[in-house]
Amino acid sequence: MLQAVFLFSFFIFVGTYLAYFFYLKRSVGKPWNIEVAEGFEPEISILIPAHNEEANIEPKLENMRNVCYPLEKMEIIVVDDASEDNTVSNVERFRFRYSDLNVKLLRQNPRAGKAAALNKALRSSTKPIVIVSDADTRWPSDILKKAMPYLADAHVGAVTGRGVNVNAGASWVTAAEESYLQLANFVRFAESKIHSTIRFEGGFCAYKRSAFDVFDSETGSDDSGTALKVVLSGYRSIMVPELVFYTSFPPTLSAKLKTKVRRATQLIGLWVKCLKLLFRRNLSLPKRIAIPEIFLFLINPLVFLILIASSIALMVFQPLSPLSFLIILSVFGLLIVWRHAFIELLIDNIVLLGSLATFLLGRRYVHWGR
């Protein structure tokens, strides 16, 4: 019985990943079916939410100033979410120094969180394209030139990029994260080729203003939640691999877990929302994307728990069985050959389990933090 439970959970857990991977692999090489209009340069609003970003905000604005895009077509809206440091004064200093750049400063007090800050900025925006970028990320100079042509297509409502980890070699924690990023970016790209991905990243998210009403504040995931809103409005939300931005990831395990639990809880809330819409037949996201993602986020972590529990039970109660020996041998083999990827797989599913419990207990993440 114990061996049957292990084998069943193993084939479900591993099989789900492999089945979706090979299905997506067939889509990566297919055409976009999008009319990309080179030279498309609409007016844009760049929204930068900030909370205690005194070290980042001036370099961020300097980075925006150096992006290759007509200054007369850009407005930058910084929303300070009740910072307790010199974020506001640093923005004011930058505005005084570079009056050629249209920078607006809005203040939100008391602190209400990132989604509320973005919606405050949205009410002040006057442009047809709004772009969100976190204060601690940096863009290459050509990102807007590469991104805007995709938004020229009438069917595309949102575009995101992929984050490049600038401290990938800082520790085993960031090295393991790199394994996750490679797989996640593959999934996001393939889903985009099929129709849409709602796994957006806060370093670069560009939306057509006509494709959504407000930034998502229900799930706490303003980027991915808003991408879902765009899809529900009848548009496509896509990730373009050429649109890179630079960011850094926590080098310590404790900081990484804190970040991942927050993000996973938000995404679980998003996929629960998709599941409800699926039952009501109101989900515009194709089922061939939604169902595997729902399974991976909501069901597979529970299968993982059964798999781990049955593995431990086998080695405790049947230590001399061939299956116990095979489990031990496989774990050592994976740690030797694919150490970082294997560790990341374990961490991510433990995080998903904890986040699922957190979500079911009613915990929601509205504020963002370090």
Question: Taking residues 17-36, what's their average pLDDT?
Answer: 94
The answer to whether residue 165 scores a pLDDT higher than 60 is yes
pLDDT digits (tens, 9 = 90+) for 272-329: 999 999 999 999 999 999 999 999 999 999 999 999 999 999 999 898 898 888 998 9
Judged by average pLDDT, the poorest of 89-93, 113-117, 145-149, 205-209 is 113-117
Q: What is the pLDDT of residue 368?
A: 53
Question: Taking residues 221-225, what's their average pLDDT?
Answer: 93
Q: Which two tokens stand for residue 262?
A: 């927050």
The answer to whether residue 340 scores a pLDDT higher than 80 is yes
pLDDT digits (tens, 9 = 90+) for 225-264: 999 999 999 999 999 999 999 999 889 999 999 999 999 9
The arrangement of strands across the sheet holding 236-247 comes to 103-108, 74-81, 44-50, 129-132, 205-208, 156-165, 236-247
Residue 109: Cβ within 10 Å count: 9
Phi, psi (deg, nearest 5) at residue 108: -120, 115
Q: What is the pLDDT of residue 366?
A: 60
* Mean residue pLDDT across the chain: 94
User: What pTM, to 2 d.p., does this model score?
Assistant: 0.92
pLDDT digits (tens, 9 = 90+) for 109-156: 998 889 999 999 999 999 999 999 999 999 999 999 999 999 999 999
Q: Is 298 exposed, middle or buried (0-12, 13-18, 19+ CB in 10 A)?
A: middle
Q: What is the pLDDT of residue 221?
A: 87
Q: What is the pLDDT of residue 298?
A: 97
> In CATH, which of 2.40.110.10, 2.60.120.430, 3.90.550.10, 3.40.710.10 is domain 32-251?
3.90.550.10
Query: pLDDT-based confidence at 370, cuts 50/70/90?
Result: very low
Question: Taking residues 55-73, what's their average pLDDT?
Answer: 96
The answer to whether residue 87 scores a pLDDT higher than 50 is yes
- Rounded to whole angstroms, how far apart are CA atoms 135 and 243? 17
Q: Where are the domains of the chain?
A: 2-25+278-360, 32-251
Angle value at C-alpha 111, between 107 and 116, nearest 5 degrees: 75
